[in-house]
Amino acid sequence: MMTTERRIEERTGYPPPALTAAVLAVLAIVLAVVGVWALAETSARAFATYTPVEASVVDEHGERLVVADRRGNRTETVRVVSVELPDGARADLRSADLGVGTTATVYLSSTGTVSESPPEPPSLLEWMIGAAAVVAAVVLGVLSVRVVLRLRRSS
């Protein structure tokens, strides 16, 4: 025979319910911030416009980057060129193809970044990761509130 009574006695070996509620609330806040940031970045990239402009390649240099693969991390030198835009501003971009002294078509975004080709729009996976983080934050927030309400009822 089943009863609907809740167990009120404290069990040993478990963290106090107030600590559980606090940890859930902190996790919910962190996940909400990360999720909203991810969605904001993804939507900014999705709605950015790219204008093709003619730029002159004026300089080149190497930049050391850390590259990770399944065997570990290593540093790699990549070629970076400086381009001069029509308004006189300079920008750096990675390119193995652009030669110094040539004129090339580069893409200037509405946010001010320069790229050699227009970037791909965000994929469905990127949208889903941001949305999943927000949904997980809501679930953790609801669980935290439930624990707090249960604590208030029992005291």
At 103, list the tokens.
């004129």
Q: What is d(CA 111, CA 19) in angstroms, rounded to the nearest whole number?
A: 43
Q: Where do we find the tokens 């790699």?
A: 76
User: Would you write out the chain's pLDDT as a tens digit for each of its 155 residues?
Assistant: 566 666 666 667 778 888 888 999 999 999 999 999 999 999 988 888 888 999 888 888 888 888 888 888 888 888 888 888 888 888 888 887 888 888 888 898 877 788 888 888 899 999 999 999 999 999 999 999 998 898 888 76
Residues 25, 142, 8, CA angle at the centre, nearest 5°? 90
Domain edges within the chain: 17-45+125-154, 50-109
Alpha carbon distances (Å) from 20 to 10, 138, 153: 14, 16, 16
Q: Quick check: 36 and 134 in contact, CB under 8 A?
A: yes
Whether the pTM exceeds 0.75: the reply is: no
Q: What is d(CA 7, CA 28) in angstroms, rounded to the nearest whole number?
A: 26
Strand partners, 64: 77
CB atoms within 10 A of CB 106: 24
CB atoms within 10 A of CB 45: 15
Strand partners, 66: 75
Q: Where do we find the tokens 């996940």?
A: 31
